[in-house]
Structure 1
Amino acid sequence: MTTTASSSGGTSGADGRTDSGSGPEPTETLELSRRRLLGTVGAAGAAGLVVGAAGGAIGVAAAQDDPPAALSSLGSASVAFRDERAKQQAGITTPLQARGHLVAFDLAPGAGRKEAAALLRRWSRTAEELMAGRTPAADTGVALDAGPSSLTVTFGFGRTFFDRTGLTAHRPVQLEPLPDFSSDELDAGRSNGDLWIQIGSDDALVAFHALRALQKEAGSTARLRWQMNGFNRTPGATASPMTARNLMGQVDGTNNPKPADPDFDERIFVGRDAGSGPYAWMRGGSYAVVRRIRMLLDDWEKQPLSKQEKVIGRRKADGAPLTGGDEHTTMDLDKNGPDGLPVIPADAHARIAAPESNQGAAMLRRPFSFHDGFRDDGAPDAGLLFVCWQADPLRSFIPIQRKLDRGDALSPFLRHEASGLFAVPPAAVAGGYVGQPLLEG
C-alpha cells in the first residue's frame, strides 16, 4: 500500500487512515490527550503498578513523565481532516466505520452568512482536533481514554442554506429538490436541513463525543433539525475484510464503484464542469443523498431463501450473482434458465440498480444500519441509513431510484421515511474551514 507522511508523525494509507506515531499529539489544552491517557493506563496495568491507594499517585506520575504505550491498531487509526492530494473531505471514500451519526441543523432566525462562516470555522477546527485524537478545549471527557478510532466528520449544505445566507446565485442546479417517489412516506421533520454532518468512527464513544462537541459548538447559530444513529460491523469481526451485510442479511455494496476504476473520480466528484463562476466552490466536492429506509423485517424473514435471493438477484451466503461465480463475478444479465426465464429476474434489485441497466450511471453507497427500538405492533424500527455519493444526482441517484420505484421486487419490503440532498464541498485548505470559498468568495 502506498503511504504518505501524516501530520502526526505516522503514515497514512491510500484510504486516508493513519497509524499514530509513538509520541503524543501536541495540544494547547491542559487536559491529557486521549491517546496519552490510554497509553498511561495501558502501561500501568501491564506492569501491575496500580494497586490500592498507591495507584493514584503512580498513575499521575506516569501520566506526567512516561511516554504513552501504543494503542491497539483499532484505536490508533486516524483519518486526515484534509488530504492535500485527494482534496475531498474524509468520510466519502473512507472505509465504513462501525458507528455513525447523521445530523442536520437549521440556521437560527437572524443568522446569516457571517454567522454561518463563523460556525463552519468553529466546526472545522473542532473536527480537525478530534480526528487527530486531540482533546479540544472545554471538552466533556467522554472519549479521554480513546484514540481517534478512524473518526471522520463530513460537512454539507442543503438547498435552504443558500436562501438563509443570501447565496442563491451560488446554489447548483444539482440541489433541486428530489422528485416524489411512490414508495416515499417521508417525515418532513426528519428530512433535509440547512447544514448536514456525517460522523463515523470505529468506537461508539468517540463517535458520540464528536456529535456532542459539534452540537455544543452550534451554540445559538444553528438549531438541531434531526439526528439519526447507525452502525456497521466492527473491523476485525470477520476472519478477513469483506463487504458489509445489511439487516436483511444480504451482502450490501458489492457493485460499488472502486477508487481504482478509471472513471471513479468522474462519477463521484464534481470536476471541471463546475467552471470558474458561481459554482467553482464545489469543484472536487460531491453530492450526498441521505435516506432513512425502514426494512419490513418481519415480512422479509417469512420469505424462503429462494425467494429472497430472486428478489435481490444474488446468493445470500456469499453475495455472488445467481448466474454463478463469486461475489465479484460480473452478473450475466442475458443468461436464461431451463424454463427460458432470466436467471436473474427482470425485477431483481441487483439487475435494476446495476450500471449496465442504467447507461453506466453509478453512485458510491456508504450506508449505516439502524435499529431504533420496536414499533407499536412489535415490528423492529430498523433498516438502512442510506447514504450515497455522486458527482451529479440528476444523472445518478434520481434516474436509478425512478427505475427502482417502477418495478423493484425489493420495494414491498421497504419504506422510505426520510430524505435529504446535500452539497458537500471539498476539504478545507490548510488554515481554512470547510465551505470557505463559498462563504467568503
Structure 2
Amino acid sequence: MTHMPVEDSETQGVSRRGFLASAGVVSSYVAAGVAGFAGGALTLNAAQASTPEKEAQLRAQQQSATIPFYGEYQAGIMTPLQAYGTYAAFTLKPGITVDQARSMMQLLTDDAARLAKGKPTLPDGEPYLATEPARLTSTFGFGPGFFSKLGLQGAMPSGFGELPAFSIDQLQPEFSGGDLVIHVGADNPLTVAHAARQLSRTAHTFAEPLWSQTGFNRPQYGVPSDQTGRNLFGQVDGTINPRTTQEFDAQVWATSGPQWFRDGTCLVVRRIQMDFEGWDKLDDTKKETAMGRNLHNGAPLTGTKEFDAPDLAAKHDNGMPVIASFAHVRRARTNNAEEKFLRRPLNYEDGLLPSGQPNAGLIFAAYMANVQKQFVPVQQRLADLDLMNTWTTPIGSAVFALPPGSQPGGYIGEGLLG
C-alpha cells in the first residue's frame, strides 16, 4: 500500500504518556495536584498572569503552540479543552467505494497533519491563515451509515450504533446523524474556521455536507486553573471527567473489539437548546437545587469545593435529601465504572429566536469506549427524572466511532479501510 506523503512528518509516533506531557496535562494537574482536567490544563493562576505584558506573552505563546497530530490515538480527545471548536458532519455520496473512502481519509490526514504544524494544506488559497495553529487539533469519526454504505457492518465496534429515542428529544435533522464527522478545535476562532474550511473542501469530493455546529469556551489563559468552565446558564460544566492515563484507559479508549478500533473511542454529540427566559425567572437557590451544585464555585450542595464528591445520603433536619431526587447531579452520578465517560462541551450562540430569546445552548460532546454500556444508561436516567429538562431540550444527536491515531506515512482509519 502506498500512502499519501506528508511534508515534514515526525519521525516517530507519540505515546499516550508522552502526548499528555507535551499537552501540558501532567505538569498542570498531576504534578501541581490540580483535579480540573476539563477546565483546561494550559492556564496561569492570577499571580502568574497579573500583568498585561505577561498575558500578552501567554497569548502569543498560545497562538504558536502546536499539538502533535500523529500518535497512538487521535488528538482533540485527551487534549486540554480549546477555546473554540467546530463539528461538521457529512453523508457519503452515492456509490462511494472503500477505495474512495480510503483516498478521502488519506487526503484528510495529510491536510490535518500540515495544519497541526502551522503549515497550509495542498492547495490552500489562504496559506497565511494556517500560520497560527493555536493548539489546533483535527479529529475524525465514522457514523453507522459509513459502515453500512461501504459494506463494513461486521467491523462495527461492540456497543456502537444509533441511540434509542429518549422522551425528552425533539431532534431536528439539520443537527442529527452523519456518516463522517470532523471536529476541529483551537484557541483561535480564525484558525478553527480556516482549518474547518480546508478539511470540508477535501471531504466534499467524497461526501455531502449535512450539518455544522460551532461553539466556544472561555480562553484558557489568565483564569483559575482549578475550576472547570461554565455553560450559558452560568453553571460549571464538565466536573466529573477522567484525569489520569489510567482513567482514560478505563473509560475512553477501546481495549477490546475489532483490532482497527483499539485505542479508538466513540463520540456522542448532542445539541441542547436552552430556555433562558424560563431559567432567568428562577432565583439562585432554585437553580442550585435543580443542578445539585452551588453556582459560585460548582461545589456539590453537600461540599465546599467543586471536586468534592456529592454526599447523596445527606439529609436536612426535616429529613429531606440535601441533593434532591430530581437534581442533575444525582441523576448523572454513578458508582458503576461502566457508566463513566469524558465530557468536552462547547457553548453555542446563533443569534435570536423569533421570540427575542437567544438561540443558544450547549454542544454536548461525550467520548467513551462503548455507547450502549456507558452513555445510554446515564442519558436514560436523565431523561426519566432530571429537573434540568424543564429548561433544556435536545434538538440534535449523532454518534460516531473514532479510529485510533496514525503514524507518519499512515492515515486515520487505516486499520478499517486497509
1:301, CA displacement in angstroms?
1.4
Contact 1:368 1:385 (C-alpha < 8 Å) held by counterparts? yes
CA distance in 1, matches of 2:248, 2:105: 28
Which residue, 287, 308, 317 being the options, matches 1:308? Answer: 287
**Structure 2 counterparts to residues 203-214 of structure 1, below 5 A:** 203-214=188-199
Q: 1:314 to 1:219 in 2, by over 3 A?
A: closer
Contact residue 252 and residue 368 of structure 2 kept, 8 A: yes
Give me the whole-angstrom Cα distance separating, in 2, the residues matched to 1:354 and 1:364: 14
- Alignment equivalent of 1:161, drawn from 146, 150, 159: 146
Question: Which of 264, 272, 276 matches 1:285?
Answer: 264
SS of the residue corresponding to residue 404 of structure 2 reads: coil
Alignment of 1:340-379 (within 5 A): 340-356=319-335, 358=336, 361-379=339-357
Residues 241 and 177 of structure 1, relative CA distance in 2, 3 Å threshold:
same
Q: Secondary structure at the match of 1:355?
A: coil
In the TM superposition, residue 70 of structure 1 has moved relative to its aligned partner by: 11
- Partners of 1:239 and 1:255 lie apart in 2 by 18
Question: What corresponds to 1:76 in structure 2?
Answer: 64
Question: Which of 374, 378, 383 pairs up with 2:361?
Answer: 383
**SS of 2:111's equivalent?**
helix
More deviation, 122-131/233-242: 233-242
| 1:419 aligned residue | 397
- The answer to whether 1:397 aligns with 2:375 is yes
The 8 Å contact of residues 142 and 205 in structure 1, kept in 2 or not, is answered as no
- Which amino acid is 2:370 matched to? D
1:134 aligns with 2:119: yes
Question: 1:176 Cα deviation (Å)?
Answer: 2.3
One of 206, 214, 220 as aligned partner of 1:221: 206
| TM-score between both structures, scaled by the size of structure 1 | 0.81
Q: Distance in 2 between matches of 1:336 and 1:70?
A: 46
Cα offset for 1:168?
A: 1.6
Aligned amino acid, residue 408 of structure 1: D
After superposing the two structures, state which structure 1 stretch, 103-112 or 144-153, moved more: 144-153
Confirm or deny that 1:410 pairs with 2:388.
Answer: yes
Q: After alignment, is 183-192 or 223-232 more displaced?
A: 183-192
Comparing 177-186 and 159-168, the one that deviates more: 159-168
Amino acid at match of 1:97: Q
SS in 2 for 1:257: coil
Within 2, Cα distance between the matches of 1:145 and 1:437?
29
Distance 1:202 1:427, change over 3 A: same
Q: How much does 1:238 deviate?
A: 1.8
Asked if 1:231 corresponds to 2:209, the answer is no
Change (3 A) 1:203 1:263: closer
Assess, with a 3 A threshold, how the Cα gap between structure 1 residues 352 and 239 changes in structure 2: closer, same or farther: closer
State the Cα distance separating 1:138 from its structure 2 match. 2.2
- Asked if 2 retains the 8 angstrom alpha-carbon contact of 1:100 and 1:198, the reply is yes
Greater RCO, CA 8 A, separation 6+: 2
Give the drift of 1:242. 2.8
- Pairs within 5 Å for 1:4-403: 7=10, 14=20, 16-17=22-23, 72-83=60-71, 87-141=72-126, 143-144=128-129, 146-240=131-225, 242-260=227-245, 262-271=246-255, 273-274=256-257, 279-356=258-335, 358=336, 361-403=339-381
| Distance change >3 Å, CA 282–CA 359, structure 1 → 2 | closer
Deviations 1:285-327 (A, max 9, x none): 0000000001111111111100000101010000011012211
Are residue 431 (structure 1) and residue 416 (structure 2) matched?
A: no
TM-score scaled by structure 2?
0.85
Q: Which whole-Å CA distance do the structure 2 matches of 1:376 and 1:237 have between them?
A: 37
Dislocated runs of 4+, deviation >6 Å: none
SS at match of 1:182: coil
Q: Are the counterparts in 2 of residues 143 and 209 from structure 1 also a CA contact under 8 Å? A: no
Q: Secondary structure at the match of 2:85?
A: strand
Partner of 2:29: none
Amino acid at match of 1:75: Q
Per the TM alignment, residue 241 of structure 1 is displaced from its structure 2 partner at its CA by: 5.3
Extract unaligned runs of 5+ from structure 2: 1-8, 25-56
Deviation at 1:71, TM superposition (A): 8.3
Deviates more, 1:126-135 or 1:211-220: 211-220
What is the one-letter code of the residue matched to 1:80?
A: P
Q: Is the 8 A contact 2:119 2:127 kept in 1?
A: no
SS in 2 for 1:351: helix
Which shifted more, 226-235 or 250-259? Answer: 250-259
Change beyond 3 A, Cα 1:8–1:143: farther
Distance change (3 Å), C-alpha of 1:81 and 1:142: same
Is the Cα contact below 8 Å between 1:255 and 1:354 reproduced in 2?
A: no
Q: Which secondary structure does the structure 2 equivalent of 1:78 belong to?
A: coil
The change in CA–CA distance for 1:265 and 1:199 in structure 2 (over 3 A counts) is: same
Greater gyration radius:
1
Residues 76 and 185, structure 2, Cα contact 8 Å, conserved in 1: yes
> What 5-or-longer segments of structure 1 have no aligned partner?
1-5, 19-68
Higher mean C-alpha displacement, 280-289 vs 132-141: 132-141
Aligned pair in 2 of structure 1 residues 335, 95: CA closer, same or farther (>3 Å)? Answer: same
Structure 1 CA distance for aligned equivalents of residues 100 and 330 of structure 2: 47
Secondary structure of the corresponding residue to residue 237 of structure 2: coil
Q: Percent identity?
A: 37
Q: Deviations over 1:94-124 (max 9, x none)?
A: 1111111000011111212111110100000
- Would the alpha carbon gap of residues 360 and 395 (structure 1) be closer, same or farther in structure 2, given more than 3 Å must change? closer
SS of match in other structure, 1:126 = helix
